[in-house]
């Protein structure tokens, strides 16, 4: 199982790095500067959280917990040609499908973080201070003019079930998820850049 997760992470990372842009930082866009700033802020925020000494206190692990690869596949600008990666998109790029998957990611991570903050925390005040700004950015992004409307179905209820009563175990899982969220925010930034630049219409 561990080898599978490593394979999945590696494959998704290859897809993320397959974008025309060589960096995961700011979007280039003239049509939605507010959205661009928010996505950039989210990436910078998660970049700092993924190895934060408070959030990851006592955790010595490089493991990454990735959400499904659907967004990476739906938002890939062209068919990937990675022989070691069998998860490849076999249809043309769909802006609506890509943005819909990005919204689902935002809803998922919002639910994960919100439910985590309701568990027994090692350092409640410090962890709240670290994670609340991320929730604020995600909330703003969900209301961004670029994003479609998506139902929040049972995401928060499902996310709450992943946490237990042991703060160390919960913190360990959160650290792995933040590393995965970091990879996903790079993919999201590049996808939105691709869309707002108009390249997807060529």
Average pLDDT of the residues in 72-99 = 70
pLDDT in tens, 178-193: 999 999 999 999 988 8
Q: In CATH, which of 2.40.50.100, 3.40.605.10, 3.90.1300.10, 1.20.1250.10 is domain 31-59+68-76+91-201?
A: 1.20.1250.10
Q: Tokens 């999945």 — which residue? A: 8
What residues does each domain of the chain span? Answer: 31-59+68-76+91-201
**What is the pTM (predicted TM-score) of this model?**
0.78
pLDDT of residue 84: 53
pLDDT in tens, 26-76: 333 334 678 888 999 999 999 999 989 998 998 887 888 888 888 888 888
CA distances 70 to 17, 93, 100, 138, Å, are: 15, 13, 10, 19
Q: What's the token pair of residue 47? A: 């970049």
Cα-based torsion angle of the residue sequence 51, 53, 107, 157 in order, rounded to the nearest 10 degrees: 120
> Is the CA virtual torsion 98, 104, 110, 116 positive or negative?
negative
Helix (H) and strand (E) counts for the chain? 7, 0
């Amino acid at each position: 199982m561990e080898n599978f997760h490593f394979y999945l992470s590696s494959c998704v990372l290859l897809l993320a790095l397959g974008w025309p842009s060589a960096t995961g930082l700011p979007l280039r866009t003239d049509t939605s500067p507010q959205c661009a700033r928010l996505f950039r802020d989210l990436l910078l925020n998660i970049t700092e959280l993924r190895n934060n000494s408070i959030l990851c206190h006592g955790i010595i692990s490089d493991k990454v917990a990735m959400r499904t690869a659907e967004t990476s596949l739906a938002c890939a600008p062209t068919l990937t040609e990675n022989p070691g990666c069998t998860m490849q998109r076999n249809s043309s790029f769909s802006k609506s499908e890509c943005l819909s998957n990005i919204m689902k990611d935002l809803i998922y991570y919002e639910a994960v973080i919100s439910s985590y903050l309701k568990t027994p925390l090692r350092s409640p005040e410090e962890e709240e201070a670290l994670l609340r700004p991320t929730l604020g950015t995600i909330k703003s992004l969900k209301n961004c003019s670029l994003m479609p409307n998506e139902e929040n179905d049972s995401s928060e209820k499902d996310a709450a079930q992943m946490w237990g009563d042991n703060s160390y175990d919960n913190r360990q899982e959160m650290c792995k998820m933040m590393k995965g969220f970091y990879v996903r925010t790079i993919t999201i930034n590049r996808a939105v850049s691709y869309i707002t630049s108009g390249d997807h219409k060529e």
